[in-house]
Amino acid sequence: FSAEGHLIANAPHMPVHLGSMGESIQTVIHENKGRMQPGDVFVLNDPYHGGTHLPDITVITPVYLDGHSAPVFYVGSRGHHADAGGLTPGSMPPFSTRIEEEGVQIDNVKLVEAGHLREAEMVALLQSGEYPSRNPAQNMADLKAQIAANEKGVQELRRMVDQFGLDVVQAYMRHVQD
């Protein structure tokens, strides 16, 4: 994603997952403006801020480059978790009437702060609410995998900028968007 949170490239997967991720990125940008730092990672599943349904949890990593004080890009991964709480296992009860009945709602939470995983805080969040996650340890394992996937994206973006230069990479990203 661009520095503004606009989609540049994505894997060939389900459009419902990827089509709304820009809104998730833009929520993180807007809600954390001036407070992000290298090593931060954010998480959300809030359908009111770019999420789909609660088991689809999005992990967002700002990409900092040397000499830049603000993120130049963002990478994100959306994983369908087996359970995010709710009235029924799988977090998709067809008879729910309020979002709380579908599970734990996560809205712009800092998952990693300056390179430090905030695991205790995230587990506490997953265990909170009227209908908490049934298996927070599994959620955390999945979140760690998403953090790692994002880190691979960060490394590849940096490698591409090192090889071709930031101006060229950004120009071609605009071409892709056009």
- End-to-end distance of the chain based on CA atoms, in angstroms? 14
Which backbone phi and psi does 59 adopt, to 5 degrees?
-115, 130
Please check whether residue 146 is in contact with residue 79, taking contact to mean a CB–CB distance below 8 angstroms. Answer: yes
Residue 110 has pLDDT above 90, yes or no: yes
Q: Over the stretch 121-153, which tens digit does the pLDDT of each residue have?
A: 999 999 999 999 999 999 999 999 999 999 999
Token readout for 93 is 């009860």
User: What residue type is assigned to position 40 of the chain?
Assistant: D
Task: Give the mean pLDDT of 54-65.
Answer: 97
Does residue 38 surpass a pLDDT of 80? yes
Give phi and psi for 4, each to the nearest 5: -90, -5
pTM exceeds 0.75: yes
Give the separation between CA 167 and CA 11, rounded to whole angstroms.
Answer: 24
Stretch 13-17: mean pLDDT, rounded? 68
Position 93 scores a pLDDT of 87
Fill in the amino acid letter for 165: G
109 within 8 A of 141, measured Cβ to Cβ = no
The bridge status of strand 41-44 relative to strand 56-63 is: antiparallel
